[in-house]
Structure 1
């Protein structure tokens, strides 16, 4: 038995306006960047499917189908996949393929209720799937598209953000640092503006940095998975501060690969973003404090 199945068909999927449409660069499982066409909630997805036979051989099939699928895939002791969107059109009834054939498809005004996402253990994706069904082995071709939601993560019923947020790092009688920043909700293109105040410094601080950390959780206890990734690391100072010193902070978010805050997406996963202040003394001891911020797409 051959280890490799040689498909008798080539399937090509083209989306209308693909050349002029905005694309998004995302990393695949191998860490390489790929460009995917960007779609919005409620937008129609249409295009063409071309099926070509190889070696001029007649291919018998039991139907050609195109689907628009939305799925959440979780890597947890094996891949678990759950479809939250499934639309389908029959392109051809059972018959024979003897020459190249092109089929038009259209999925009108599709509700795309979640954003596309690729994380450590979770992938939320939308894709076109074409299946040429055969009595032996089906021939399948997929084409992924990317979806952004622009309503943001700030709910209308949410209370107004505070005028400023304060985060303290302290050790009794040794260290007291206060980090004050403008608010706790930011768009993905925003700027975090703040100041760090050194109120008490009796430790020899050698280094200080500010970072953004994304925490992804999926599944339910006791089998819940959690993974943290440092998205931005920003050096604030290198050297010893003195009492009364103030350091201004301006952290531009726009140039980084950030995602909005996702809360219990389809009861499958969540992502949260934390602002983390880290201090390292001359004995390499680390002192840190984290505070959550809400990110949203305008």
Structure 2
């Protein structure tokens, strides 16, 4: 089973074969253009190993190079400035010294117990990605091919997960308290909460709760914030509802939101 492959015209075909390609799980990755692709899935601390296969396409001709290498890269890039990327992981394996290729060659590689501190993510303005990059160094222009990988983090439950309480209102008119059963949630959790009406001296026509995803990129003046309403739940609706001054307790449930990254 081939893990993607690339053609560089009639010069050389580069292909990467993972050692455990037949048994390794895959996951879906949403690209910048909205398309969904499947790539091999890795976790923090797992090794990445396989073969780089080079198929020389120019029959009888020599392919001179200044060296061949493969890199394991973890990278963060802003869509607005792709020339300014941050590589938080960059491991290099030299596959061949300077020389020439006259026939097909295969090179083994292995990155042992690779630290992958963050999870793969594609957002509105930023992308965090992992990939293998094969480079055939040449005098005029290098031959480069990249192969996407997906990284998931195995979450652990926090030792402390206290409930959250908040207060909102209008002085002498409305006083409401919100309570959430805990402060940290798994993506497949159900969020359970309570709403207390402690003081109501105005008529309420409508109440709803929203689950919002927020993405913050950049530092200082260049900070950009994108928000998206993931879900919206109506908990009260009517024409000029008059809530009694006595305590009113409402229970609400947020559905599972495992398809979303929520901050």
TM range (shorter): 0.7 to 0.9
2: CA distance between counterparts of 1:121 and 1:228?
A: 11
Q: 2:102 aligns with which of 98, 106, 117?
A: 98
* SS state at 1:25 partner: strand
Aligned residues: 249
Instruction: Give unpaired runs (5+ residues) of structure 2.
Output: 1-7
Taking structure 1 as the reference length, the TM-score comes to 0.73
2: CA distance between counterparts of 1:139 and 1:57?
A: 20
Match of 1:228 in 2: 227
Match of 1:257 in 2: 260
Q: What do the CA deviations read for 1:220-243 (whole angstroms, capped 9, x no partner)?
A: 21222222233x213223622552
Match of 1:268 in 2: none
Q: 1:79 to 1:63 in 2, by over 3 A?
A: closer
Match of 1:23 in 2: 26
Deviates further, 68-77 or 165-174:
165-174
Give yes or no for the alignment of 1:237 onto 2:235. Answer: yes
Give yes or no for the alignment of 1:135 onto 2:133. Answer: no
* SS state at 1:81 partner: strand
Taking structure 2 as the reference length, the TM-score comes to 0.82
Deviates further, 193-202 or 102-111:
193-202
2: CA distance between counterparts of 1:42 and 1:77?
A: 30
* SS state at 1:222 partner: helix
Give yes or no for the alignment of 1:52 onto 2:49. Answer: no
Q: 1:176 to 1:103 in 2, by over 3 A?
A: same
Q: 2:72 aligns with which of 58, 68, 72?
A: 68
Q: Post-superposition shift, 1:76? A: 4.6
User: How do residues 170-185 of structure 1 correspond to structure 2 at under 5 angstroms?
Assistant: 170-185=169-184
Q: 2:119 aligns with which of 104, 115, 118?
A: 115
Q: Post-superposition shift, 1:152? A: 4.5
Match of 1:195 in 2: 194
Q: 1:201 to 1:166 in 2, by over 3 A?
A: farther
Q: What do the CA deviations read for 1:107-150 (whole angstroms, capped 9, x no partner)?
A: 11112222222222222221100011122221111112122232
| Aligned-residue RMSD, C-alpha | 2.6
Match of 1:81 in 2: 85
* SS state at 1:72 partner: strand
Structure (1 or 2) with the larger CA radius of gyration: 2
1: CA distance between counterparts of 2:201 and 2:57?
A: 75
Match of 1:145 in 2: 149
Instruction: Give unpaired runs (5+ residues) of structure 1.
Output: 260-272, 274-298
